[in-house]
Amino acid sequence: MKRRADSSGYEKILIVAAVSLFLYTGCAPASRQGVTRIEPEVQMQREEQRGEGASSQETGQSDKKGDHVKQAALQDSSEMSNQEAVDSALELLQASSDYWEQGEHDNALEALDKAYSLILQVVEEEDADLIQQREDLRITIAKRIVEVYASRFTVADGTHKEIPLVMNDHVRKEIDSFTGREKDFFLAAYRRSGRYRPAIVKMLRDEGLPQELSWLPLIESGYKVRAFSRARALGLWQFIASTGYKYGLKRDTWIDERMDPEKSTRAAIAYLKDLHQMFGDWTTALAAYNCGEWAVLKRIRTQRINYLDHFWDLYEKLPRETSAYVPRLIAVLHLTNNPEKYGLTLPPVDEEIKVEEVMINKKVSVKIIAGRLNVEPDLLQEVNAELRQDMTPNSPYPLKVPAGTGKVLLAKLSDIPESDIPAWQPYSPSPPYILHTIKKGETLAKIARKYKTSIKGIKDMNGLGSKERVNVGWTLKIPTKKGFAPVLADGSVQTDIKPYPRTIEYVVKRGDSLWKIAGQYHTTPKTLRVLNKLASHSLMEGQVLMIMPGQDSAKAANSCSYKVKKGDTPALIARKHEMDLSEFLKLNSLSPRSTIYPGQTVQVTEK
Q: How far is CA 86 from CA 31, 122, 558, in A?
A: 17, 8, 63
The overall longest dimension of the chain from CA atoms, in Å, is: 111
- Dihedral of alpha carbons 459, 464, 470, 472, sign: negative
Q: How far is CA 551 from CA 255, 587, 607, in A?
A: 34, 12, 18
Q: What phi and psi values does residue 510 have, to the nearest 5 degrees?
A: -60, 135
| CA dist., res. 478 & res. 484, Å (int) | 11
Return the amino acid letter for 365.
S
The three-point CA angle 456-459-463 to 5° equals 140
State whether residue 80 is helix, strand or coil: strand
Partners of residue 239 on adjacent β-strands: 234
| CA dist., res. 182 & res. 168, Å (int) | 19
Q: Is 536 exposed, middle or buried (0-12, 13-18, 19+ CB in 10 A)?
A: exposed
- Dihedral of alpha carbons 176, 180, 185, 189, sign: positive
Outline where DSSP puts E strands in 101-254.
none
Give the orientation angle of helix 320-337 with respect to helix 183-206, to 10 degrees.
80
Nearest CA among 310, 264, 49, 22 for reference residue 166: 310
User: Given the DSSP bridges, would you call strands 355-360 and 79-80 parallel, antiparallel or unpaired?
Assistant: unpaired
The three-point CA angle 340-345-349 to 5° equals 125
C-alpha radius of gyration, the chain, whole number: 32
- Would you say 564 and 598 are in contact if contact means Cβ atoms under 8 Å apart? yes
- Dihedral of alpha carbons 80, 81, 85, 87, sign: negative
Q: How far is CA 131 from CA 134, 392, 588, in A?
A: 5, 52, 58
| CA dist., res. 193 & res. 224, Å (int) | 9
Please spell the DSSP secondary structure of 137-178, one letter per residue: HHHHHHHHHHHHHHHHTS-TTS-S--S-----HHHHHHHHHH
Give the orientation angle of helix 56-73 with respect to helix 82-101, to 10 degrees.
160
Q: State the catalytic residues.
A: 220
Number of other residues whose CB lies within 10 A of the CB of residue 193? 21
Number of other residues whose CB lies within 10 A of the CB of residue 117? 14
